[in-house]
Each structure stands twice: as structure tokens, then as C-alpha cells.
Chains A and B, each alone.
Chain A
Amino acid sequence: MLSAPAAQSDEPDEIRAIWGTTVNLAETMKLFREFLKGFKPKYRAAHDRELGLQTRVFSSPEEGEVALYETYLRRMRQMGDTNLNLDMINLQAYPPSRKLHSQLYKYPQEVIPAMDQVLKDLMLEIADLDQQMGVEGMEGEDGEAEIADILGRVYKVRPFGLTPVNMRELNPTDTDKLVAIKGLVIRATPVIPDMKVAFFRCLTCSHTVQVEIDRGKIEEPARCPRDVCASVGTMSLVHNRCEFADRQVIRLQETPDAVPDGQTPHTVSLSVYDELVDVSKPGDRMIVCGIFRSVPVRVNPRQRTLKSLFKTYLDVVHVKLGGGGTLGFDRTTRPAGGDRLPGVGDGAEEDDESGAEGRMTRKAELEAKLLELSRRPGIYDLLSRSLAPSIWEMEDVKKGILLQLFGGTNKSIARGGGGGGPRYRGDINVLLVGDPGTSKSQILGYVHKIAPRGVYTSGKGSSAVGLTAYVTRDPDSKQLVLESGALVLSDGGVCCIDEFDKMSDATRSVLHEVMEQQTVSIAKAGIITTLNARTSILAAANPVGSKYDVNMPITRNIDLPPTLISRFDLLYLVLDRVEEAHDRKLAQHLVGLYLEDSPVRETEDILPLQELSAYIDFARSKIHPVITEAAGKELVSSYVEMRNMGDDPRASEKRITATTRQLESMIRLSEAHARMRFSEFVGLQDVKEACRLMREAIRTSAMDPRTGKIDMGMLNTGTGQGQRKMRDDMRKEVLGLLEGAGRARGIKWADAIQRLGEQSSVRVDASDFTEVMKSLENEGLVKVVGERDKRTIRRIEG
């Protein structure tokens, strides 16, 4: 390896070993050896502290004094592993080897093999030492066997720890340097045998020679090296004596967050060898460290030697899976027992979220910015304003939806083997009901933009995927219409559903399951399975009539079963009230927005959508608030208060009030609020705000217009307290009617209604009457015969 004589240079004892580099290989090896023997974690902690980075905490001072790499080497011997993962920053942190860091990054082609050699030498030394000391497993013959094994193996150092750059930034001057990039695997070839050492035999004298690969090329000897023979062009390749490595070519594409706006992603080729083959599969995100190579290629097929263009690829030395922004990967999708990432050494204990990411300065910058933002006093208002900036007012709606985007925490009670037991969803579901023309669709549009894993569908629209749909001719209108299939859900996202009331029954039944159990059951082609569907639902519904009738209860106004409505945590009534001062301000706002050439905002203080999105993303992945005792007490007392809401102590009747479902909603909302503040604990203020939002939502939607009082029972069972009383009265009356005249023959339906109406001060509602009859029939007290208009009611013995 050391060939050329010393050339002119500033530093003494520097040998230009290979043209173009200033690497003194002997010195390099000495430095690395010193590093492996002398490095201790305390140096790294000091280095990190100096840079203001998070440092590792030692459980005892001895932990910082361990000769780390000697431990790794011993472990390698015990496990039979030949790869040492080396965090390059440790080289920087250990003062004697600081120079090695830049040499490694600039001349990896020379330095890495030197390091490999040192590694092997040191493995042998330590094995020898252990044998002499009589360490367990190394006595006598066992020791001899171990040492023999080590001698026969090839050892590799796998450096990593460079700050990943965007693959767009790689340019010709990076050639032959060590770089780190991140990306998404889109393709991988099968395993290719790659020649490492070629075996040539002279056809004349049978002299054999081995030629190693150098910079991707194997130099075929032009003449036999044996002086006596020296024949020209007689060296022939003997395939089965050649040495091959496993090689795989992977195409790595830029991740969406790295691509500039309005651009398509670029791709780069990776060459991985031996232990790194098949470690990743298409769809994985990863951070790779490797040597950037440019290889000349022939452009004009007629001119074999003319190579004016270069193909580039990365010769990979280290792979780290995951490593994509705030979205790592779902551990449950990886093979059991962990990924088959080779090697002992640095980086093994870290999870995806710390480690390499902490060192990415750009990431750290963004994190710091978001943290600072979270400490602003008006952050809650700022975020809700920024959610849908063009929409007038509707502050509480925006706040509720904002908390929905943050979500509560998912909890599960593992039993025994883990993973089993009931799961308590953290997703918050919000329903907007109201008059048409009140910008409900616009809000959904904004949320869809902010929540990237979200889906936007319209209840009756052509948005179905996975099932086929049909174009049919409507028999009444004779027009072509598209009948769509089911709903698209996105695991871990927000599903925005417009025109919720127009949804088909089939879809609705799917929603029941999704909203409560967060799963979807599929029975298709002989397979019955359950898929996860952890999604929150934001739905907008129009009333049955053209406008919301404030005199009717909510269950009459929207054509949805109460069981479905009760699964929503927040229900907002968005009414279009005609009121002069309000209308004027609204018009002013809209004219300013849509007709002015550069739309004017009243408050300039609004976060751009991308920042808002990043803020939410970060909070969801990093903050998992826990309820404090004080908050817990407050939750309990608020819940009790809610149950007593509208309670009239003088009334003799028992009212149905809030149920545990509402308590769960409160918990979720409080957690979401805490998450919004980047707080690890749910505090009093979070609970108070959650209650306030719920009260505001309840106040408008569960108020029984007949009594003016809040009535949770109205939502949960579809019948208000007042209504229930009225029905009980009606029941008594009907039974009374039937007792008297007509006991034998029964009473006609229409007659019954009329007679009831005569003796009642309140108008008898036909649907109320139907309900009462149904329940009487179920109880076996009456029998109804006949069809429609000719129905007769008869009293029977129960």
C-alpha cells in the first residue's frame, strides 16, 4: 500500500501514499488503534455538552470510564460477528483521533481498509490476551480454536454518523468521499455475485496470479508476470477460483419532505454488499453512509473509448433503517426478532427518534423553533386562527377541530402476552351540523390539507376505492348517475366526510365499527379479518329540511341514528342567523378576502399551513401527556357537574344525563389540549378548556327546545326528557281509550289520534304516536292489524 517516495509537502513525515491523498497510512492505523483502545464514553458526553446537544446520562461514573470498543470487540468474538459499527463522531470526540475523522471522510477508500486491518489485529491481540488470562471460553484449546477462527475471517469497520445531506446536493466534487443520505427504497435487484479477487492462469506456463479489485476495476495482466515466460495476452480468468461478494443494487428515492415544492423526486443508486444485502426492502426509509462514486460510461455506441458522461452511485458501508423525520416506521410491521442489521457496536441501543436525528442540525433547528412556538402565551388562539384563516368567526368550532387534529393518547391494557385487552381510542370525532351555505365544506377542505394522511370524501360522491362502482340510469329522472361503493379510511389520519347525511346505510354501518372499535371487519373471498382503522372522523351534515328548524330537536333535524351521533365527541350546530350587525361584518370580511387584489387579513399573525402541519406532526409523535392527580380530580368534579346540568332539584322525575361516554370525551380533549401545549402532563387548564368546549357544543345541540334545558339523553337515545314524559302520558291515555269502548273491536288508527288530540292541549305528533304504539306492541299490550290507513288497534292481555 505504501509505494511512492515522499513528495514535497508542508508537514514532515507525510507520505503521499496514493496520488491525490495526503494519508500517511501508518499514522492512520496508529491513531485508530489508539482510539479503539483508549476511547471512553465520557469523552463523547463532554463533546456533546460543548455543542449544547443532549448528552447521554450515565447511571454511575464507572459507566463513562469503560473502554467501550474493547467491550464491543469481545462481544464480536463471542457472537462470531465481523462487523463493527463505528459512530464517527466518537472519533471527533476523542482528542487524539480527531484528525482521523476528516481523513476518513475525505479518503474513505484508503482509510477504511486500513481500519479493517487494525480491527483484525486488535481482535487477535485481545483474544491472545484473554487466552493468557484464562478468560472463560478462551482456555487452552478453546482459545486456539477462537484465534484460528478470527484469523480466517474478514473484519469490516462500518462508519456512520455524518449528517445526512439531500441527494440533490451531491455533486462531482463529492466523488470518492464519504457521504450520508436518506431516502425511500423503491427497487432492489436480486443478489448479484460481484468479483472481488480475480484468479488468472497463464495458458502457456500455468502460472497463477490473483488480482484484487481496485476502485471498481480489475486489471487483467497484459503479460505473464513470470519472467521466464512473459508471454503476452495469455492470462485467462478461472471463474471457480475467483472470490465473489454478494452485491445488490438498490434505487433510493427522495422522501417527500426532502423534495422542493412542485418538483418530482430524484433517485440515486446504491451498491450494498455481503451482510447489508436484503436488509432493506422496497418501501423502507433509510439513512445510508457510503462512498460516492462516479463511473464513466460510453455515450456513443460506435466509439468504445469515448466516455464523456458519468453514472453515479453510492458504495454503501452502513445502513440505518427508519430515520425519516417525525414518522418512523411502525415496529409491528418489522420481522419478529428485529431487523437483520449486521454488526456490533455503536447505534445499537438507540431507537429511531434519538441518535442520528439529534445530530441532524436542520432537524434540530426545526425542533427548537417548534418548541419555542409552543411556549408562546397565545398559542392556542394562534393555532386555531391559522387552521382556517379565511373563515369568519366560528372560534369554538375551530378550537374543537384543532384539538381533534392533536388527538388524545391511545391506551391499551395489555394482558399476559401483550397486545391483547381492550383498547381505548385517543381519536376525537367531530360532527358539524347546520344550515347550508355556512362554509362547512371549506373547513373540511382546510383540515384535509393540514392532515396529510387524511381522506376527503363526500357522502354521496364518487370517492370510493377498492370496490367497483356502477353507472346506472335512474328510473325516475332517466339520468345517468354513479353509485359509489364504500368509504376510504386512512389509518392514523383524519377522515373528512362532507354531506354525511347522504351516506348510504352500508357505509354507515362500517362507520359504527370504526368510530367505536377503531377496526374494520372484512369478509371477502373466504377471508374474515379485522383491519386497524385508527382514524378520526370530521363530518359535516345538512339538515333534513332546507334549513335547520330550531323548534325541533336535533334528532329530527338530521337524519342520523342517535347511536351514531353519540359516537361523536363534539357536535356543533352551525346556524345561519340573520342579524344585521353580524351580517355586515361578515360581508366586510368576505369582500376584503375575495375581491381585494391582495387579500387583507385582520390579524397578520397567522401560521402558514406548513408550519401548523409540522407543529401538529411533531406533537403527535413526541408528546404523550399523562393525567396529573389534580387534573384527574377536576375531571371527576366536572363530570359530576355535567351530570347535574339542567337538574332541577325540585323535579320529582329522574332525568337521564351525561354518561361515561362524555367523560371519555373530556379525557381525550384534555389530553389533546395538553399535547397542543407540548406538555407532558395534563393539567387543570387543559381539563377546564375541554369542559368548556364540551359545554359549548352541548349547549347548542342537546338543548331540548320544548323545555330549554340541556339533555344528554336527547342525543344518546334520541328522546328528550320532556319527550319521554309526554310519551308516557300518551301511553296512559291510549290504554285508557282502548279500555273503554271498542275493547272488543279495537279502534282505528286515525280515530285514536283524533281522540287523543281532542283531549290534549298539545298537538299529537304522528311519529310520537307511532313510537308509543310500537313500544306497546312490543310489550304485548296491544295488537295492530291491517295496512296503512286501515290499521286497527286492539287491546290484548299481556
Chain B
Amino acid sequence: MVSSLLADAVADPTAVLLDLFAANDDIQAFSARVAAHFSAVFSSDAALAEIPALDALDARHDRALVRFRAMVQDTSPSPEIYRARWPGPRCGGWGLADASPHDISYDDLRESTVFWAVSVPAQSPWCADPSSAPHNTPHSHKFPVPHHPHHAVQVKVYHNYPVKPTELHTFVGILTSEPLHADLDLDSPALVPTLHVLFSLPTPTTIVPRVYPDPAFTKNTRDELITWIADASLAGDQDAAEWVLLAAIARVQSRSPPILPLTLTVSCFPSPSPTATSTSTPALSHILTQIFPLVTTLPLSLSTLNTTSFAPESKNEDLHSGWLQLPRGTVCVVTEGGVSEGNVSERGLNNLRATQEMMNAQTLQYVFPYSAFAFDTDVAFVILSEGTKSAFFHASANIPLRPAIPDFDFYKTPEGVAPKAEDALASFRALVGAAKIGSVTVNDQTAQFIQEDFVQERKAAPAQDEVLTQDHLIQRMMIARLLALSMQEPEITVPIWKKAKEMETTRRARILSQ
């Protein structure tokens, strides 16, 4: 009966393992069978919810069944050889062992993949598993945000499930406490929580699965969303809010040719006053966190630049994390409010360069001894700068802020933000989630219109200075696409194209009129 299978698995997964092995001890196929069995037992969301989340458990529960939604952080450990069959025959792997006889047949040995996984950085509270407060682990250098409490485990996967750094997966397995793979030959190695995976599932980019176009979408939703962002965090500037929305839903469309997310600088954004008692995180971050599943704030200051790591670096064969090691689909709000005059060290310059390269090419170089490896990223950037442009970065678009509300507190805390109704929030989240995964095309009629429009506009340019270039056209097309996505439209239509043009023109006018 299904329910008893479920109950057994949750109560004593080890017993289930031993039973499966007793039925058939062919170790070549065993781990695949294990994965198939457990994923069948927990195939429904309800069943999955029965498994306690790692977060809610403490270390006393040795060999308990847990689930952990995690980001893969460090895949550099080599595969581990374990003894899969003991005399009896008895099951090996998943932390199981028996009294060891002297001779070993190499046919009894199998390999498992070992890596380090951490709780999802930048995860917004509304989509995270309810958990007890994560603690500070001794391996805090392996989390993107320095000294940020999180959960971390050594993961051992026995079935064929290749993973890459920054991917999000849900791992279900047996939790024990074991030495780190790299420390095995030390006399008294430190122990780390180790998850022996029974089965695993990839996590969607939007965490909560979405469908495009969102069936519950209405035009009102979009307008309400923009108004809310504007009023709560951007002093009522609707245009800036719309630009922020578009930049945040941008993602990598293709790598060849490179069609990468539009990056945005919101300029003339006031810095926090030096005597302010509130923290220096802008309210915009809090607002975005309520809508998007993955949002992180990168607070630039001379000390952040000069003393912390932005890109992951392998030291002593341990991959230290960096601010920029983020899962696909993250929105990264970069604040320059904390920057003052002073020296930027070589490390700071490297950090700046890594960030700019991520904005330009959506790749991040992980530093290894005598070699560097480039990893593809997909992160949307919104830069907040006090000046008319960013002090450090070159972004695709720049929208100067025009506050409509005087004496606006740009840095109010989450408690200071007026709460929004739950159903409104749900519709916002569905809108942006769908936009993140949707795709739009263009019909022939609109394509023709765009081409003709381009030709005519170039002919009619009054002065040499204002000629529309191909780079401008490309930018407009990116904006049109994002607009269509934000409107849940399947195609770019002529009205959408016109709106894109209008937005661009207004934006440029704002810059010129400063």
C-alpha cells in the first residue's frame, strides 16, 4: 500500500535500502533502482512534503530521511570509491559498512559523486521551506554572502545525476555525520553533515513552477505592480519602476549569437545619509524580494571591494565562494551608496572586472591554481548610483530617477513598507515568474513594420548627430521583447513596438535634460 511505503521510507530509509538490496544484489544497477523506488514513493508534492526539510532538523537525528533544496557550490572533489557489497551479501554505500574482511574484490567497489551544497542564496522568504534559523557553519567561506547564516552539507550521490555549480536541486537522502572526503586520511578529521542521496529532482529557475502566459493575468495586475514598486521604493517614479521591472525579468535568450539580459543603472538615486540609523539596504531590494524568488543585494563599498571575494576561488583545493556565485535567474541589486573616496586595491579591481564581465558577457571566471575556468551565468543586474552614471560599471541602459514624492525614505526597512494584500502579491509573483520563463516571437507584419520604421527614421533624421544606429535598434528590440513578456503577450505587436520606442525616447530625453 502506498501510504505504508511512504511511512516506512520516512521512518527508516535504511531498512528500505537493505530490503531492496536483499531482493537483488546486482550492484551495477542497484543505485538506479534505489533512485527509481524512492522517487516513485515520493512522486507527489504531498508525499514530498512529508519528508522533513533539512533546515528543521538538528544533528541528533542520525540516519534520518531529509530533503534539502540546495545550490550546488563546489564540485571539485573527485569521485569517491566505496565498497558497495560486503560479504553476506550486505549492502554498502549510503554510509553503510560492515566488519571488514581482509581481501577485497575490486568488483565490489563502485563510485559516488561528492560535492558541497548550500542553502539557496538569495532565496526569498515566501518560497523557502519553513525552517528554524540557519546557523553559522564553520565553512562560511563556502557561501556567496560572507558570514551569512546558512545550511551546508557534503552531498554524496550514488546514482547517475550529474550536477554543475550554481544549479538548484532538491536532494532527498539519509543524513549522517562524516569526515570531509578530502580529510579522510587524517587521523582525527572534523565531521560535517553528509547527505547520502536516495533520489534528486531539479528545481525550476522560478522555484515555484510557472506557466506562460499566466492564466490569471490582467492588464491591471501589471499597472498595479509598477505603481506599487514606484510608490514603495522609487518615490513614485513610474517610468523608473517600469524599467526596473523589465530589467529584473530579463534573462539570457541565447549564447550564439549573444542575446544577453539588459542591465540597468538607476542614476541620481540618493545614497543613505551617513548618520542614518536605518541600514543601507534600499527599500527596492525589499520590494523585489517580495515578488521575485531569487533576489540578492550587493552592497558596494571600499571595504567590500577590497576585502571580500566576488568570484569563486580554489584555495588548497577548497572552492571558496564569492558574491557572484549565484543561481540562474537571480536578480542582483548593486548599490553604490556605500562607496566613498579612497584606494581600490588590486583585489578590488579584480572584483570590479569580474562583475563587469558578468554584466557584459554573462560569464564568471572561477580562479583555480595556474588555470581559470569560465562558467555561464544568467543574472539580471540593477545598479543604483548617486551620480548621473555608475561610478564603476557600464550598463546597457541608464534611467535617471525623477522623484515625484518629496522627502522620500529610500532606505526604509521591510517593516516600514506598507504591506500588500496576499492575493495581490500572488498575482505579481505569477506575472514575473511567467515572464522569466516565457518566450515571444514576432509576426511578419510587425517585422516589416519595424524594418520600414528603421529605414524611414534614418532618412528623416534632422541632424547628423541624431541618426538612429543599429545598436539603437538592437536595444529597442530587447526592450520590446521584455515589454511583451511583462504583458504576457505571445508576440511583439506594433503597439508594443511603439511603446518600446516611446520608452527609449523618454529615457534619453531624461538623460539629456539633466
Q: Which residues of A contact B (CB under 8 A)?
A: 167-168, 171-173, 175-176, 184, 186-187, 251, 253, 255-256, 259, 262-268, 282-283, 294, 296-297, 299-301, 303, 305-312, 389-390, 392, 435-439, 445, 449, 456, 458, 461-473, 477-482, 484-485, 546-547, 576, 578, 580, 583-584, 586-588, 590-597, 599, 608-609
CB proximity of B436 to chain A, nearest CB, Å:
16
Quote the shortest CB–CB distance from A451 to chain B (angstroms).
14
Q: Do A546 and B188 contact each other (CB < 8 Å), given the known contacts A468-B346, A586-B470, A597-B439? A: no
B106 and A294 contacting across the interface, CB-CB below 8 Å: yes
CB atoms of A263 and B75 under 8 A apart: yes
Residue pair A438, B471 in contact (C-beta under 8 Å)? yes
Q: Does residue B341 face the partner (Cβ distance < 8 Å to A)? A: yes
B257, A389: Cβ atoms closer than 8 Å: yes
- 28 CB-based A-B contacts, threshold 8 Å: A167-B78, A172-B110, A184-B370, A186-B370, A256-B373, A264-B75, A264-B373, A265-B368, A305-B99, A309-B81, A311-B184, A438-B471, A471-B343, A479-B389, A480-B386, A480-B391, A482-B391, A546-B464, A546-B465, A547-B465, A547-B467, A586-B470, A590-B477, A592-B447, A595-B441, A596-B442, A599-B259, A609-B256
When the two chains form their complex, are residues B461 and A265 in contact, meaning their CB atoms are under 8 A apart? no
Query: Count the B residues whose beta carbon is within 8 Å of the partner chain — how many?
Result: 101
A-contacting residues, B77-130, CB 8 Å: 77-83, 92, 96-100, 104, 106-107, 109-111
Which of chain A's residues has its CB closest to B74's CB?
A: A264
B455/A584 in contact, CB under 8 A: yes
Instruction: Indicate whether B489 reaches chain A with its CB closer than 8 angstroms.
Output: no
Q: Is the CB of A255 within 8 A of B81?
A: no
> Bound complex: CA of A464 vs CA of B353, how far in Å?
8
Specify which of A268, A390, A469, A596 is in contact with B344 (CB 8 Å cutoff).
A469
A437-B471, A462-B356 in contact; A587/B82 too (CB < 8 A)?
Answer: no
| Cβ contacts under 8 Å, A266 to chain B | 76-79
- Specify which chain A residues have a CB less than 8 angstroms from the CB of B317 in the assembled complex: 186-187, 251, 267
The answer on a CB contact under 8 Å between A578 and B472 is: no
Q: Report yes or no: B481 in contact with A578, Cβ–Cβ below 8 A.
A: no
Q: Is B165 an interface residue (CB 8 A)?
A: yes
Task: Across the A-B interface, give the 7 residue pairs with the lowest CB-CB distance, nearest first.
Answer: A437-B469, A479-B387, A390-B257, A308-B97, A172-B109, A587-B451, A310-B81
A172–B393 CA distance with the chains assembled, in angstroms: 50
Name the distance in Å between B30's Cβ and chain A's nearest Cβ: 15
**Is B185 part of the binding interface, using a Cβ–Cβ cutoff of 8 Å?**
yes
Q: How far is the CB of A445 from chain B (nearest CB, A)?
A: 7
Contact of B349 among A464, A592, A599 (CB under 8 A): A464
Q: Are A471 and B106 in contact (CB under 8 A)?
A: no
Instruction: Known A262-B375, A265-B371; judge A308-B341 contact (CB<8 A).
Output: no
- Contact in complex: B353, A299 (CB < 8 Å): no
Q: Is B492 an interface residue (CB 8 A)?
A: yes
Q: Which residue of A lies closest to B78 (CB)?
A: A266
Q: Would A264 and B319 count as touching, CB distance under 8 A?
A: yes
Q: How far is the CA of A300 from the CA of B98 in the complex (A)?
A: 11
Cα separation A787 to B129 with both chains bound (whole Å): 76
Docked CA distance A587–B471 (Å):
11
User: Which residues of the other chain, A, contact B178 by a CB distance below 8 angstroms?
Assistant: 299-300
Give which listed residue, A172, A449, A464, A594, contacts B477 with CB less than 8 A: A594
- A590 and B344 contact, CB distance less than 8 A: no
Contacting pair A583 B458 (CB below 8 A): yes
Whether B340 lies near A599 (C-beta < 8 A) is no
Contacts of B451 in A (CB 8 A): 584, 587-588, 591
A171 to B386, CA, bound (A): 57
Residues of chain B in range 160-195 having any CB-CB distance to chain A below 8 Å = 164-165, 178-179, 184-185, 188-189
Judge whether A480 and B455 touch: CB under 8 Å.
Answer: no
Q: How far is the CA of A588 from the CA of B459 in the complex (A)?
A: 17
Please give the distance in Å from B473's CB to the nearest CB on chain A. 6
Contact partners of A436 in chain B: CB under 8 A: 469, 471
Q: Are B478 and A594 in contact (CB under 8 A)?
A: yes
A546 to B441, CA, bound (A): 34
CB distance from A37 to the nearest CB of B (A): 36
Residues of B within 8 A of A584 (CB): 451-452, 454-455
B387 touches A462 (CB 8 A): no
What chain B residues lie within 8 Å of A580 (beta carbons)? 455, 459
| Residue among A267, A473, A481, A608 with the highest chain B CB neighbour number at 10 A | A267
Cβ of B221 under 8 Å from chain A: no
